[in-house]
Structure 1
Amino acid sequence: MNASPEPDRLAKRRANLKKLVNARSIAFVGGRQAASAISYCKAIGFEGDVWAVNPKQTEVDGVPCFHSVKDLPSVPDATWVAVSTERTIETIADLNAMGAPSAVVYTAGFSETGDGELERQLIDAAGDMAVVGPNCIGVVNYLDGVPIALTPGLGVERPDHGVALIAQSGTIIGNMVFSERSLPISHLFSMGNQSVTEIADAVDVLADDPRVDAILLYIEGLRDASSFAQAATRSFNHGKPLIALKAGVSEMGRELALTHTGSLAGSPELYDALFDRLGIIKADTFPELLEMSKLFAHNGVPQGNRLLVETCSGTDSGYCADLAERHGVDLPALSEPVRQAVAEVIPTIATASNPLDVTMEQWGDRLAQAKSLVTMLAEPADAAALVINFPSRGDTTSYDPAAEAMLDVKAATDLPCYVITNLPEGAPDWMRTMLAEHGIITLQGMEDAFACIGKGARYVTERDALAAVGGPETRLLSCSPLEAIGSLSEAESKSRLGAFGLPVPESALCNTAGDAVRAARAMGLPVVVKGHGEELAHKSELGAVAVNLGDEKAVHDAATAILALQGIEQVLVDAMVTDAVAEIIVGIKRDATLGMGLMLGSGGILTELMRDTMTLLLPTTPEAIGVALGRLRGYQLLTGFRDRPAGDVEALIAAVSSVAAFAEAHVATLQELDINPIMVRPEGKGVMAVDALVRMGKPQT
């Protein structure tokens, strides 16, 4: 994990970043790109001082030029820099010497090209300045009309509230602005390489602005996860949700993130764990990120997951049901009184249900469509939706009344109301604008709509749960990279873990088949016989494991066969667990940015087949471990599946907690840990870790 700046320096940089966001004077250093950026100030109506700096020109976009930043009439609040890498470093050093608070570096060619030395020089030149970039398109404060960014193409609208987007990618910034989503935008931060100022700093600056409804994050990688956790918690405490889209979840994506902005993308599972820990909503696609933000920008987050839906198609109703199940949205069945009332106001060929297909007989009749959904509102719910298809061009006369019907529905309820279009493009601007003016959210595309409603409802539940325990946990373990020094043997691994309270079976290390028989006789049959040695993993694949050996001849034969395998000189005899109701795998993964992750999953041979895992960041708590276990698909095996005995979940949580304690105690040297599996016995009988592998390391030199 990268070291956080000293508290005083961090506080100064964030105060300086606030000056950038609210700049009243901006200097632009460069030529063609500076001219474009200056034209943006004019287009948006920036009311402060604008200065141009270019030693080779007399003016840039009509603004007289100064030869150097040292010649400016006063110290600028912010400076836009678009010159060569060498001149960029010189300019930042000059600004720092002048006491300038901030700069945006458009220039590329630093760490994203592999040149870490140039970036280190830039960092040294910046001192306490808030420098955004390099390799970025800039920062825009739309609310106050302050653009320090490349082009007026990023928009000149100035809403009184909106959502902020913080992204390392300039293209993602542009995509948000160019999208046809009727989404008010408060700020844009293009962070680029995050050499000096990081995503966490931008989050911190926006956290206490009441005009910012939510903060959207496009993350390729974090430089300082602890600083990010603290900023995210500050945003949480101010009631400002964070919605994140993580790039680099594939191997190729992680490689491209490194070449794009010089960011180490990190494990997607660990980032998911970080988001869960901090109460951050995770978006899976960019359109979902935008649609989710509408719920917060227009005060439309459902307080629960019960949704009433009206359609005019049996196909749409069926698809709604499929999507609702997929995304955790409850479509409550209508109670008999409500069902009868609805039946009286819909066509006779329609069926009173939820979702409600009013059929084409009612389509285009504003009053009739509104009455049907308003009547449904007698059923307890958390939100109401009308699903429509709408032409993106041409004559919409016959379609308009369907959208307008939602105005009457909204007038009859305080619940969030959505118009959901079948496809993203089926929502013309006039319709989105008209609905938004009445507090109705247009969700574009059924898949994204249901994903956002489900995630919005879960956010409310998880936010309240975090608030009940005092807010998110911000502590993360600091994990510097290690040089691998090898694996401990299974016997040594289990011995060390057992010292921290992990239950392990009675065992004996044997040199001969006769020793194995005597050990089995002493501990009682049946037993397991395994090959033993350091660096010996995946023993089953090598034929070095024999289980359920119920007599001495079987033990002797198994030990003899295993000892005959190349490279195996000893066998481990373990008492066998015969009454397990489930197997759980536990692992520890080290990450230089995010610390240590604790992985839980369905164990045994199903581990790689099911991919049924959950990950927590350390340190963690028994309560968090219990929640994570409950999210596994295999958890139902622990609750008495199909009349099987329930598992000892309490003992399992204690065992996993002991593994977490071991990892924290060995944070300086633990490279990786795998326990596959922990055998979960019936309730009251405990658990047993029957196989373990610990890999250690030493600090890199």
Structure 2
Amino acid sequence: MNKFRYLLEPRSIAVVGVSDEAARPGSQAVRALRRNGYAGKIFPVNPKYEEFDGLRCYPSVEAIDEPIDLVIVGVPAKAVPAVMEMCAAKKVGYVLVLSGGFRESGPDGIGLERRLLELARRSGIRLVGPNCLGLVNVHANVYAAFGSMTREPRLEAGGVSLVTQSGGFGYSIALACAQAHIGFRHVIATGNETDVDTVEFIDALIDDEQTRCIVAYIEGTRDGRRLLEAGRKALAAGKPLLLWKGGVTDQGARAAASHTASMTGTYDFYKALYKQTGIVEISELHEAADYLQMLQAGKSLDSNGIAILGVSGGSAIVFADAGARHGLVLCDLGEQTRQRLAPWVPGIGAIHNPVDLTAGYFAPGNEDKIEAVLRALAEDPAVGGVCVNLATTGARGSLAAARAIVRVAGDGRKPVVVFSSMPRSINGEALALFEEAGVPVFPSPSRAANALAMLLRLGQARRLLPAAARPADAAVQAVSIAPGSVLSEAQSKDLLARAGVPVTRDVLVGPGEQPDLGGMTYPVVVKIASPDIPHKSDIGGVKLNLASEQAVRAAIEEVAANARRLAPDARLEGVLVSEMVAGGYELIAGAVDDEVFGPVVMVGAGGIHAEIFKDASYRLAPFDEATAMAMLDELRCRPIFDGVRGGATLDVRSAARALAALSRFAWEHRDAVQEVDVNPLFLAPHGVVAADALVIAKPGRPAEAMAATPATGK
């Protein structure tokens, strides 16, 4: 690791704020460094002491006459800026502030924290914290921390690095993993993240040769795009990133004019990011330990077919139920496999999947038989992985099974996992054999299934990792969008049509003009055209199913009169006459430019169900048609597109093309466009068409040149 080398592997450390009070953060840090065998130089700092813990104590950072890589600060918040000033004068590269009392404490703390950032930016210091527990480099015995991170049990060395905004809870993740014999490289608590944040550490850890897997706990991020890029970088590097996002509940409704915005929440965007990067979501302590066990086995699950064998039918059922929720299936075994199984499975057992070996089969005398059964399953082309349900098998039987399992697991790429509910006090010898061989063992069948499903998703993400760069910005024609404005339907649809989203055939009839409807196909719809009336039906501004020119003329007069009466201050472009779309399925699509994630595209079931059922899927823009197809496949209404009860098969690929075009539009115009609403988007047997659209500009931004001329006839 180069970027943070001397932060995470410092050659010398000064600790400001030591005292005879053992509980003081600085005092704990010095003692933790010494107790754990840190080999670098340690400089305690406090002008009240000449010596601390057997070391010379310095009156200030500037009084230290040797180079310092890292300064740990544990003094009261008000004194921290002065320490930072001294660090700047000393040309220290890294400062880690353990102290609390900053923005988490109120207005005064906010000002103090802002001062720290100003000092860091001015001097080139990289600041970790404040209000954090510190960091640990297990390999190099660097315990630049206090509190739980310095206490027993000591973490084992390994290839997992953990970055956490919450030091206390994050260390709970580390301890849960340690109980599963997961070893660590780094544990880093980022606290308030005034300067260096979790995402920057993740990016650096991907470049660390001794980090094989990264776990992160975050409560939020300032830049979702950087997290997106870090996730893709980790996936490409073969270093899985496990992420626990705290605070996933709805943060409140968005104040917006579009349906799209009201149907989105921050957690939706995180879930989209996981799907586009291969980031593995965790939401339980045991998931982190289970998934890391699975990943450290070094296997890949190339298909969703799983074979189960054991002596507990109930265990197999529980596994199947859990696996089905995540796309795993108990695959059919080939005829050749069943023939290979027949000599080794008792006649009262079963040679289909799950394979029932019957009670008592896991025994010392059957070790070779167990191995033969396992090899037959592992070599079946339909089998992607195997789960062995030892369940409540005792010590001698578990050990015999373990010897067979580790031989088979070690010979191939397919994962072999074990469910065992017996405690270590009974099955310790077998468990030790599994741990040494890297065979994952889970205390329930559902946890085994969940871990295998994670491996399947990760493999799918790796195969779909986009190789191409972002689409280039498209050339656009000039028209100004005023900050905070809402474009009319005519303008909005024209923009989207130019971007590649099919729209209905429209004719704009200006105030006082006579409609020229030559070539229009009836029935048609008449709608008021105004940038100030986004919801036209609310003021009687829409008339449907008009079957004659006479009806159209009457409707034009009526909707115009309604608009003048009920929205007297609205600017009226005129009235839009559009051919009605017959048949098909009503979708809703749109985009929102999120302040953290940037443009995000949504598609879902439309009509009256849109905001009731919220059957929707999300992705961060821009994306390709394959990603758009995946979005559509996620919808609960997706089976309808294939034709049900005699219904027509709908052109799903045309919808995917429209969504990809919408994503490019949202990305290219992210500096000017806040929201796009396409509602309804009709999916028909021979294409897709936007029947209505709304484009909303960002507030307080300079106008952007875009193609937004009113529709004439098409």
SS at structure 2 position matched to 1:384: strand
CA distance in 2, matches of 1:606, 1:319: 34
User: Cα 1:114–1:573, aligned 2, differ >3 Å: closer, same or farther?
Assistant: farther
Contact conserved, 1:295 with 1:301, CA < 8 A, in 2?
no
Question: Out of 117, 123, 133, which is 2:129 matched to?
Answer: 133
CA distance in 2, matches of 1:94, 1:429: 55
Please tell me whether residue 575 in structure 1 is matched to residue 579 in structure 2: yes
Instruction: Indicate the residue corresponding to 2:151 in structure 1.
Output: 153
Stretches of structure 1 that go unaligned for 5 or more consecutive residues are 1-13, 256-264
Instruction: Indicate the residue corresponding to 1:528 in structure 2.
Output: 525
Instruction: Indicate the residue corresponding to 1:178 in structure 2.
Output: 175
User: Cα 1:653–1:16, aligned 2, differ >3 Å: closer, same or farther?
Assistant: closer
CA distance in 1, matches of 2:448, 2:532: 50
Instruction: Indicate the residue corresponding to 1:454 in structure 2.
Output: 453
CA distance in 2, matches of 1:388, 1:210: 37
Instruction: Indicate the residue corresponding to 2:203 in structure 1.
Output: 204
What do the CA deviations read for 1:421-460 (whole angstroms, capped 9, x no partner)? Answer: 4699999776544312012112344333322212212222
Q: Report deviation, 1:415.
A: 3.0
Contact conserved, 2:398 with 2:427, CA < 8 A, in 1?
no
The within-5 A match list for 1:178-577 is: 178-179=175-176, 180-251=179-250, 267-364=266-363, 367=367, 369-380=370-381, 381-389=383-391, 401=400, 403=402, 406-410=405-409, 413-421=412-420, 432-466=431-465, 469=467, 485-508=484-507, 523-530=520-527, 533-534=530-531, 536-537=533-534, 547-550=544-547, 567=566, 572-577=576-581
Q: Report deviation, 1:411.
A: 5.5
User: Cα 1:661–1:302, aligned 2, differ >3 Å: closer, same or farther?
Assistant: closer
User: Cα 1:540–1:605, aligned 2, differ >3 Å: closer, same or farther?
Assistant: farther
If the length of structure 2 is used for normalisation, what is the TM-score?
A: 0.82
CA distance in 1, matches of 2:318, 2:60: 63
Q: Report deviation, 1:589.
A: 0.8
SS at structure 1 position matched to 2:281: strand
Question: Out of 109, 112, 129, which is 1:118 matched to?
Answer: 112
Aligned residues: 664
CA distance in 1, matches of 2:140, 2:596: 35
User: Cα 1:112–1:428, aligned 2, differ >3 Å: closer, same or farther?
Assistant: farther
CA distance in 1, matches of 2:356, 2:59: 70
User: Cα 1:407–1:652, aligned 2, differ >3 Å: closer, same or farther?
Assistant: closer
What do the CA deviations read for 1:349-392 (whole angstroms, capped 9, x no partner)? Answer: 3222222233334255662555443443342233222124359x
Q: Report deviation, 1:324.
A: 1.9
More displaced 10-residue stretch of structure 1: 370-379 or 399-408: 399-408
Residue type matched to 1:604 in 2?
Answer: G
User: Cα 1:446–1:499, aligned 2, differ >3 Å: closer, same or farther?
Assistant: same
Residue type matched to 1:337 in 2?
Answer: Q
What do the CA deviations read for 1:268-308 (whole angstroms, capped 9, x no partner)? Answer: 22223333333323334443233222222231343433322
Contact conserved, 2:539 with 2:566, CA < 8 A, in 1?
no
More displaced 10-residue stretch of structure 1: 456-465 or 265-274: 265-274
Contact conserved, 1:233 with 1:474, CA < 8 A, in 2?
no
Q: Report deviation, 1:327.
A: 1.0
Question: Out of 3, 12, 15, which is 1:25 matched to?
Answer: 12
SS at structure 2 position matched to 1:466: coil
Please tell me whether residue 168 in structure 1 is matched to residue 165 in structure 2: yes
What do the CA deviations read for 1:12-49 (whole angstroms, capped 9, x no partner)? Answer: xx956211111122222224212222222233221221
Instruction: Indicate the residue corresponding to 2:66 in structure 1.
Output: 74
Residue type matched to 2:389 in 1?
Answer: V
What do the CA deviations read for 1:511-568 (whole angstroms, capped 9, x no partner)? Answer: 99x999x778973322234466545455567776554455679878977987669726
If the length of structure 1 is used for normalisation, what is the TM-score?
A: 0.83
Question: Out of 599, 602, 606, which is 2:602 matched to?
Answer: 599
More displaced 10-residue stretch of structure 1: 207-216 or 220-229: 220-229
Residue type matched to 2:618 in 1?
Answer: T
Contact conserved, 1:154 with 1:174, CA < 8 A, in 2?
no
Contact conserved, 1:291 with 1:444, CA < 8 A, in 2?
no
Please tell me whether residue 692 in structure 1 is matched to residue 693 in structure 2: yes
Aligned-residue RMSD, C-alpha: 3.8
Contact conserved, 1:669 with 1:699, CA < 8 A, in 2?
no
Contact conserved, 2:3 with 2:204, CA < 8 A, in 1?
no
Instruction: Indicate the residue corresponding to 2:711 in structure 1.
Output: none
CA distance in 1, matches of 2:546, 2:696: 29
More displaced 10-residue stretch of structure 1: 322-331 or 564-573: 564-573
Question: Out of 46, 50, 59, which is 1:54 matched to?
Answer: 46
SS at structure 1 position matched to 2:503: coil
CA distance in 2, matches of 1:69, 1:611: 58
- Identity across matched positions, percent: 28
SS at structure 1 position matched to 2:39: coil
CA distance in 2, matches of 1:246, 1:100: 33
User: Cα 1:253–1:653, aligned 2, differ >3 Å: closer, same or farther?
Assistant: closer
